[in-house]
Amino acid sequence: MTTIADPMGFLLFTKGPLFNIAIAIFALGLAARLAEILLLGRRPNFAEPRAGEWLPGLRTVVTRTLPDPGTFKRAPFNVLTGLIWHVGFLVALLLFIPHIELIKGLFGVSWPGLPNPFVDLVTAVTLVALAATLVHRLTHPVKKRLSTIEDYLIWAVTFLVVLTGYLAYNRLINPYPLALGLHILTAELFLILLPFTKLTHIFTVFIARWYNGASFGRRGVQS
C-alpha cells in the first residue's frame, strides 16, 4: 500500500524493519569509520613534551565549542547561526521526551526532558537558523567555494529531520502516523548517511579536537 493510503502501515514500517536496517547500517558504518581513524593511530613522538596530552586534549574537546572573541567578531553570523542550530538540534534531539523514551528503549538510560512547548520553540528557532546557514552557504564566497553536493545533501536531510519533527509535533501533516512516519524516515536517512558523509563529525569531532588539543598541549599551548 502507498504511504497516503496506509499511513499506519508506513509508520510501522519506519518504526520496525526500516529502523533496524538504518540502525544496523549506522552502527556498522560508524564503527568502521571510528576503527579506521583510531587504528591508524599516531607515530611515536620523541620530542620532549612541555606538558601532558590528555588534559589539554580534553580541554580542547570542550573549549572549541565556543569561538575565540576575535573569530566571533570577524564572523558573527556564521558562528551564531551555527551555534544556535547545533544547540537547538541537540536540545530537540536529547531533551524532547519522546526522544528520551526512544533512547531509554534502545540503551536503557534516560534523563529528564524539557517541557514540550519549550522544545517546540527551540525547534522553530533551529529551523530558522538552519535556513540562515543555507543562505550563508549559498552566498558567502568561502562557503560557496567549499561546498559540495554532499554539503547540500546533508543540509537538506538535517533540515528535513527537524522540519518533519516540527510538523509532526504541531500536527500540521495529517494523518499523524504519516507525519510521524516521515519524521522517523528522515531520521533514518540521517542515520544511514551519517557514517558515510561529513555527518560523521558528530562523533569524530571529539577525536579531532582531542588530537588538536593534545598536539598543542604537548607543546605547552592551550588550543
Region 189-208 residues binding another protein, contact defined as CB under 8 A? 195-196, 198, 200-201, 204-205, 207-208
> Does residue number 11 form part of the binding site for another protein (CB under 8 A)?
yes
Task: Output 94 or 115, the one with its CB closest to another protein.
Answer: 115
Minimum distance between the CB of residue 50 and another protein, rounded to whole angstroms? Answer: 5
> Does residue number 58 form part of the binding site for another protein (CB under 8 A)?
no
**Cα separation, 222 vs 212, whole angstroms:** 10
> Which of 52, 54, 77, 220: binder of another protein (CB under 8 A)?
220
> Does residue number 138 form part of the binding site for another protein (CB under 8 A)?
no
> Does residue number 16 form part of the binding site for another protein (CB under 8 A)?
yes
> Does residue number 170 form part of the binding site for another protein (CB under 8 A)?
no
Number of residues that bind another protein (CB under 8 A): 106
59 class by beta-carbon count within 10 Å (0-12 exposed, 13-18 middle, 19+ buried): middle
Task: Output 97 or 160, the one with its CB closest to another protein.
Answer: 97
> Does residue number 165 form part of the binding site for another protein (CB under 8 A)?
no
> Does residue number 50 form part of the binding site for another protein (CB under 8 A)?
yes
Minimum distance between the CB of residue 178 and another protein, rounded to whole angstroms? Answer: 9
Per-residue b or e along 149-171, where b marks 16 or more CB atoms closer than 10 Å to that residue's CB: eeeeebbebbbbbbbbbbebbee
Task: Output 163 or 183, the one with its CB closest to another protein.
Answer: 183
Question: Do the Cβ atoms of 179 and 172 come closer than 8 Å?
Answer: yes
> Does residue number 80 form part of the binding site for another protein (CB under 8 A)?
no
Using CA atoms of 12, 194, 75, 79 in order, give the dihedral in degrees to the nearest 10. Answer: 50
Among candidates 161, 177, 204, which has minimal Cα distance to 10?
177
Task: Output 87 or 215, the one with its CB closest to another protein.
Answer: 215
**Cα separation, 169 vs 179, whole angstroms:** 9
> Which of 67, 91, 164, 191: binder of another protein (CB under 8 A)?
67
Among candidates 8, 26, 75, which has minimal Cα distance to 203?
26
Using DSSP's 3-state secondary structure scheme, residue 2 falls into coil
**Cα separation, 88 vs 121, whole angstroms:** 9
